[in-house]
């Protein structure tokens, strides 16, 4: 353990001087929705966008960097995340209304953006109230729900390059597609401009109430989960394929396929990241065997596995 702490400290000593904060061997499980996973070798909380840009301009090229929002659609493996994990905090959560446009930092919660727009009488963004996570993650995944997605409302995004340069890119330059974008993973979203429309607050609030009602009735939102686990294949719904393959209620260790919505995996309280990933792989195996469709993970999995995935023989109901 002492050697590990020394190695973490050595990494911090190699990093550029910043106005934000570095921390060594920082647990990540408490800041992820699954509440599992190992630590960040180094966690960096930048003071603002300029501080983040200075970090990228000065960081050693051999140091891997991972950017986190609130850890909603994310599985951190049990061995932790090597290199520097960047947590975009309050400085990246600012929301401004400019006419019918909402300017939101990458660290702003999607639901908060939707509610801020509603109170300003700006409609068209209420779908974000049903999307867990932050605007940065929503841009990376072209997140969507309840009839809307980011590509429908994006005007432009401010993006940081690995050399520390910041540029404003329009939606076409991002190459947004179903649950993804064409921008390389080493680009970091800083903020976004989202297009809305002037509308009565009561009408917007009614649609958001309906989204909240539907989520509560159909999704296990009060559990330790990471949201939808697998992307919908072309012409099909992932949950229907999972149900058809008999996976509803399957268990590996402390991980379980939700019985309320079987495209959600749940940490029942004792799961490791290995449990959750093994369960997901078993679901993929069974769905492929039953339907010939190979499901693709929608949840982002990062870090190092502490030990191999659990054997499929440990799956139970």
Domain 221-316 has CATH 3.60.15.10: no
Per the annotation, the verdict on 228 as an active-site residue is: yes
Q: 120-158 pLDDT, tens per residue?
A: 999 999 999 999 899 999 999 999 888 899 999 999 999
Model pTM?
0.88
pLDDT bucket at 5, cuts 50 / 70 / 90: low
Instruction: Look at the alpha carbons of 270, 25, 186, 151 in this order and tell me if their dihedral is positive or negative.
Output: positive
pLDDT bucket at 307, cuts 50 / 70 / 90: low
Per the annotation, the verdict on 259 as an active-site residue is: no
d(CA 38, CA 111): 28
CATH architecture of 92-204: 2-Layer Sandwich (3.30)
Quick one: pLDDT at residue 180? 87
Quick one: pLDDT at residue 315? 54
Per the annotation, the verdict on 179 as an active-site residue is: yes
Domain boundaries in the chain?
2-90, 92-204, 221-316
Kindly state the tokens that stand for 104.
């939101």
Domain 2-90 has CATH 3.30.43.10: yes
Query: Which one from 59, 77, 158, 179 is the annotated catalytic residue?
Result: 179
Percent of residues in the chain assigned helix, strand, coil, to nearest 5: 35, 30, 40
Beta bridge partners of 188: 160
Give the residue ranges of DSSP H helices in the chain: 2-14, 49-58, 110-119, 135-141, 150-153, 171-174, 201-218, 238-244, 273-291
Q: In this structure, what are the phi and psi dihedrals at residue 233, rounded to the nearest 5 degrees?
A: -65, 160
pLDDT bucket at 7, cuts 50 / 70 / 90: low
The yes-or-no answer to whether 92-204 and 221-316 have a common fold is: no
Q: 50-99 pLDDT, tens per residue?
A: 999 999 999 999 999 999 988 888 999 999 999 999 999 899 999 999 99
Query: Which one from 151, 156, 228, 258 is the annotated catalytic residue?
Result: 228
Query: Which one from 41, 103, 149, 298 is the annotated catalytic residue?
Result: 298
d(CA 44, CA 11): 12
């Amino acid at each position: 353990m002492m050697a590990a702490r020394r190695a973490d400290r050595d990494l911090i000593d190699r990093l550029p001087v910043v106005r934000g904060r570095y921390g060594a061997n920082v647990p990540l499980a408490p800041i992820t929705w699954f509440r599992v996973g190992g630590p960040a070798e180094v966690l960096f909380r930048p003071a603002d966008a300029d501080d983040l840009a200075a970090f990228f301009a000065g960081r050693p090229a051999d140091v891997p960097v991972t950017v986190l929002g609130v850890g909603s659609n994310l599985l951190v493996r049990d061995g932790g995340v090597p290199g520097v994990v960047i947590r975009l905090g309050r400085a990246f959560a600012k929301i401004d209304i400019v006419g019918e446009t909402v300017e939101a930092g990458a660290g702003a919660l999607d639901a908060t953006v939707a509610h801020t727009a509603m109170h300003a009488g700006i409609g068209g963004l209420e779908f974000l109230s049903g999307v867990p996570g932050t605007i940065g993650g929503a841009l990376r995944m072209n997140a969507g729900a309840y009839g809307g997605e980011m590509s429908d409302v994006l005007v432009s995004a401010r993006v940081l390059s690995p050399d520390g340069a910041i540029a404003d890119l329009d939606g076409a330059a991002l190459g947004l597609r179903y649950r993804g974008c064409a921008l390389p993973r080493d680009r970091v979203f800083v903020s976004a401009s989202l297009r809305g429309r002037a509308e009565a607050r009561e009408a917007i609030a009614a649609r958001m109430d309906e989204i909240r009602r539907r989520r509560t009735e159909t999704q296990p939102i009060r559990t330790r989960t990471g949201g939808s686990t697998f992307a919908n294949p072309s012409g099909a719904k992932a949950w229907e394929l999972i149900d058809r393959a008999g996976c509803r209620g399957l268990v590996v260790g402390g991980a379980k396929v939700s019985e309320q919505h079987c495209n959600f995996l749940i940490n029942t309280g004792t799961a490791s990241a290995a449990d959750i990933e093994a369960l997901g792989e078993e679901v993929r195996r069974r769905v492929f065997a039953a339907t010939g469709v190979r499901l693709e993970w929608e949840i982002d999995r990062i870090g190092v596995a502490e030990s191999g995935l659990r054997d499929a023989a440990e799956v139970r109901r």
